[in-house]
Chain A
Amino acid sequence: MFTIGCDPELICHRNGRFVPASDYFKANSSFGLDGCEVTAEIRPGYSESPVDLTAKIFQILEYGHEKAPDLEFYAGHYVNDYAIGGHTHFSVSPASEVISALDVVLGSLSDCIDPRDQRLKRERTGYGKRGAYRTKGYGFEYRTPGSFLLCPSVTLVHLTLAKLAVVGVKEDGLNFVELKKRQRSVYFLKNLKHFLHTIPDDCREGLKELDILLNKKLDWNQDILPNWGFERAA
């Protein structure tokens, strides 16, 4: 089995106003900085399991919150005029059918839950285009998604679908482009579990939560910390 990892970004606020992440965090740490230094970047490591990777993200966020308890963090695609991404890592080679599967599956999730205005703004900056990836020593980094750290559920579902897209191609030989065709993204995702022959145990929770998530209206203009169970500093 392959591993998944990620390095999603966050915008920092203090008392409701933007502050550069470089005032609080060091570039190379796992609660670190993106190349542009004003954006924070979470580097939780890697795991075969989307549940475990989400739990690792929790631990890194907890450290960041302890280190800078007066900060608020924002996820999404485009916050305070900065494009923020949710690059997702895979320890497999970037075959074209794998990249297409990620475009279809994670693209459908984004259609359903991501803030459309933010996504458009990010795309206009040249980031977040479909099919964007970089080959890495461990495999590849898929660069299309926005930052999915809004809450543990969105994170878990994103990572679960990322894994299932690759499993669907590698294990089940599925062609997700054909499967989706002209279906609306929400129906495609609701039917996804029926297309998959191989559903690893560590993907079952995320799939269950996907069904509930698709029926929720999400507010991306909020500090993510309370969603992860962290109390705001008094």
Chain B
Amino acid sequence: MKMSCSNCNETLSEDEVRWAFDEPYCDECFDHRYTHCTNCDSVISNDYARYNRNDEAYCDECFCEEDDPDCPDNPDVDEVDREHIINLSRNWLKGEIETKRPIYINNKDYLLKSIREKVGLVEDPIYVFGLKDKDEHLISASPNLIEDIQEIIPFYLPCVKVLEGYGINRLGISHSLRKSNLKEVVDLIKALTSIKVPA
């Protein structure tokens, strides 16, 4: 039985036909418009195909199944990362282990990025995150940090209210503090991360 290509009308024998969404195509038109998912082999339009780093095509569903959205993608590097990697590298050559490293932050918050860079490398890194607030000057500290924070906070941010949070080695800073008291916040984190805190 003879058919014709849905795009160029070329006459095709049954063996020559390639099907996409119930329409017959010649080889050339099919390849121009469609491809196959590497995982499930379904036909996908080139316009909707998603490609992995090896240029392999996936349908949307399979691509999302095979991806880990939390894994950093071409992550940003700042001055403190450069300093850290060079220290790590030099110390390894000397047979030593580099123990200082940058604090952990939620990378989506630009104010936290600036705090991370200004704090630099510390002995006992903690996780610093942003607290959602309106105008309040607030800090939240995980139970293992709360005593130390209460002891040192009068020296850096005397009028700030400290709340007990959850988890381990977590420090939440309100937006108003991150914005208006950057230097004090940085000094506070430097002081806190130089104290040996039991986990």
Residue B137 at the chain A interface, CB threshold 8 Å: no
CB of A45 within 8 A of CB of B73, answer: yes
With A59-B72, A226-B97 as known contacts, state yes or no: A54 contacts B85, CB within 8 Å. yes
With A152-B89, A209-B90, A229-B98 as known contacts, state yes or no: A28 contacts B63, CB within 8 Å. yes
Interface of B is mostly: loop
Residue B180 at the chain A interface, CB threshold 8 Å: no
CB of B89 within 8 A of CB of A43, answer: no
Residues in B with CB closer than 8 Å to A31 are 68, 71
Smallest CB gap from A45: residue in B = B74
Interface string of B73-84 (1 = CB under 8 A from A): 111010001101
Q: How many residues of B contact A (CB 8 A)?
A: 31
Q: How many residues of A contact B (CB 8 A)?
A: 40
Q: What is the bound-complex CA distance between A32 and B55, given in angstroms?
A: 14
Interchain pairs with CB closer than 8 A, number: 102
Q: What is the bound-complex CA distance between A136 and B127, given in angstroms?
A: 39
Q: Which of B53-106 contact A (CB under 8 A)?
A: 53-55, 58, 63, 65-68, 70-75, 77, 81-82, 84-86, 88-90, 92-93, 97-99, 101
CB of B85 within 8 A of CB of A45, answer: no
Q: What is the bound-complex CA distance between A51 and B78, given in angstroms?
A: 11
With A212-B93, A227-B92 as known contacts, state yes or no: A60 contacts B72, CB within 8 Å. yes
With A56-B75, A226-B97 as known contacts, state yes or no: A51 contacts B52, CB within 8 Å. no
Smallest CB gap from B95: residue in A = A216
Q: What is the bound-complex CA distance between A35 and B53, given in angstroms?
A: 11
Distance to closest chain A CB from B61 (angstroms): 13
Q: What is the bound-complex CA distance between A52 and B97, given in angstroms?
A: 20
Residues in A with CB closer than 8 Å to B101 are 229
Residues in A lying within 8 Å of B, measured CB to CB: 7, 25-32, 35, 43-47, 51-52, 54-56, 58-60, 63, 67, 136-137, 151-153, 156, 205, 209, 212-213, 216, 226-229
A-B contact pairs, 5 of them (CB 8 A): A55-B84, A60-B72, A67-B71, A209-B93, A216-B93
